[in-house]
Structure 1
Amino acid sequence: MDLPVFWFGVTVLAWVLFFVLEGFDFGVGFLGPLLGRTDAERGAAVRTVGPVWDGNEVWLVAAIGVTFAAFPDWYAALLSGLYLPMIVLLLLLAVRGIAIEFRGKHDSTTWRARCDVFLATSSLLLAATWGAVLGALVTGLALSADGEVHGDGGWGGLGRSLEPLVGPWAVLGGFAGVLLTTVHGATFLSLRTTGVLRERARRLTVATAPALVVIALALFIAAGHAAVAAAAALLALAALAAWRRAEVLAFAATTVAVAGSVVAVLTAGMTDTSWVLLRSTLSPAGDVTLRAAAASEGALHLITVAGLVILPGVVAYQAWSYWVFRKRVHTGFSPSATARRAARVAAR
Structure 2
Amino acid sequence: MDLNILWFILISVLFIGFFFLEGFDYGVGILLPFMGKNDTERRIVINTIGPVWDGNEVWLITAGGAIFAAFPNWYATLFSGFYLALFFILVALIIRGVAFEFRSSDRSPRWRSAWDWGIFVGSLLSAILWGVAVTNILRGVPINGEMQYVGTFFDLLSPYTLIGGVTTLLLFTVHGALYLTLKTEGEMVQRAWSIAKTVSVGALVVLVLLAAMTYFQTDLFASTLAALGILVCAVAMILTVLFTYKKAAGKAFIASSLTITFLVLSVFSGLFPRVMVSSLNPEWSLHIYNASSSPYTLKIMTIVALTLVPIVLAYQIWTYWVFRKRITAKDIHY
| TM-score of the superposed pair, with normalisation by structure 1 | 0.89
Question: Secondary structure at 2:290's aligned position in 1?
Answer: helix
CA shift, 1:317, in A, is 0.6
Determine the C-alpha separation between the residues in 2 that align with 1:2 and 1:335.
48
Distance 1:56 1:300, change over 3 A: same
| Equivalent residue, structure 2, for 1:131 | 131
Say whether the 8 Å CA contact 1:267–1:277 is kept in structure 2: no
Distance 1:286 1:210, change over 3 A: same
CA shift, 1:300, in A, is 0.6
Deviations 1:288-321 (A, max 9, x none): 1122222211011000111111111111111000
1:204 counterpart letter in structure 2: I
2:115 counterpart letter in structure 1: C
Which deviates the most, 240-249 or 57-66? 240-249
Written as runs of structure 1 = structure 2, the 5 A alignment for 1:213-224 is 213-222=204-213, 223=215, 224=221
Tell me how large the CA RMSD over aligned residues is. Answer: 1.6
Say whether the 8 Å CA contact 1:144–1:285 is kept in structure 2: no
Question: Secondary structure at 2:275's aligned position in 1?
Answer: strand
CA shift, 1:233, in A, is 1.4
2:295 counterpart letter in structure 1: E
The yes-or-no answer on 1:315 pairing with 2:313 is yes
Which deviates the most, 114-123 or 204-213? 204-213
| Equivalent residue, structure 2, for 1:204 | 195
Deviations 1:161-190 (A, max 9, x none): x12431222111111121111101111111
2:190 counterpart letter in structure 1: E
| Equivalent residue, structure 2, for 1:295 | 293
1:322 counterpart letter in structure 2: Y
Determine the C-alpha separation between the residues in 1 that align with 2:271 and 2:15.
17
CA shift, 1:217, in A, is 2.2
| TM-score of the superposed pair, with normalisation by structure 2 | 0.92
| Equivalent residue, structure 2, for 1:27 | 27
Which deviates the most, 285-294 or 316-325? 285-294
Written as runs of structure 1 = structure 2, the 5 A alignment for 1:31-70 is 31-70=31-70
Which deviates the most, 102-111 or 118-127? 102-111
Say whether the 8 Å CA contact 2:160–2:210 is kept in structure 1: no
Question: Secondary structure at 1:267's aligned position in 2?
Answer: helix
The yes-or-no answer on 1:172 pairing with 2:163 is yes
Say whether the 8 Å CA contact 1:44–1:333 is kept in structure 2: no
CA shift, 1:191, in A, is 1.0
CA shift, 1:56, in A, is 0.6
Which structure 1 residue ranges, 5 or more long, are not aligned? 152-159, 337-348
1:125 counterpart letter in structure 2: L
Deviations 1:100-119 (A, max 9, x none): 11112123333222211111
Determine the C-alpha separation between the residues in 2 that align with 1:293 and 1:316.
31
Determine the C-alpha separation between the residues in 2 that align with 1:262 and 1:148.
25
| Equivalent residue, structure 2, for 1:15 | 15
Say whether the 8 Å CA contact 1:71–1:293 is kept in structure 2: yes
Written as runs of structure 1 = structure 2, the 5 A alignment for 1:235-314 is 235-270=237-272, 275-314=273-312
Determine the C-alpha separation between the residues in 2 that align with 1:142 and 1:292.
17
2:268 counterpart letter in structure 1: L
Residue among 158, 174, 182 paired with 1:183? 174
1:5 counterpart letter in structure 2: I
Determine the C-alpha separation between the residues in 1 that align with 2:300 and 2:264.
27
Determine the C-alpha separation between the residues in 2 that align with 1:91 and 1:219.
27
1:280 counterpart letter in structure 2: S
Say whether the 8 Å CA contact 1:164–1:170 is kept in structure 2: no
CA shift, 1:334, in A, is 8.7
CA shift, 1:328, in A, is 0.3
Distance 1:68 1:334, change over 3 A: closer
CA shift, 1:323, in A, is 0.3
1:57 counterpart letter in structure 2: E
Written as runs of structure 1 = structure 2, the 5 A alignment for 1:83-232 is 83-151=83-151, 160=152, 162-222=153-213, 223=215, 224=221, 225-232=227-234
Which structure 2 residue ranges, 5 or more long, are not aligned? 216-220, 222-226
CA shift, 1:124, in A, is 0.6
Determine the C-alpha separation between the residues in 1 that align with 2:233 and 2:197.
16
Determine the C-alpha separation between the residues in 1 that align with 2:283 and 2:246.
52
Say whether the 8 Å CA contact 1:43–1:334 is kept in structure 2: no
Determine the C-alpha separation between the residues in 2 that align with 1:115 and 1:15.
28
Determine the C-alpha separation between the residues in 2 that align with 1:33 and 1:240.
26
CA shift, 1:63, in A, is 0.4
Say whether the 8 Å CA contact 1:74–1:278 is kept in structure 2: yes
CA shift, 1:59, in A, is 0.7
Say whether the 8 Å CA contact 1:213–1:233 is kept in structure 2: no
Distance 1:226 1:163, change over 3 A: farther
Aligned pairs, number: 322
Which deviates the most, 241-250 or 95-104? 241-250
| Equivalent residue, structure 1, for 2:224 | none
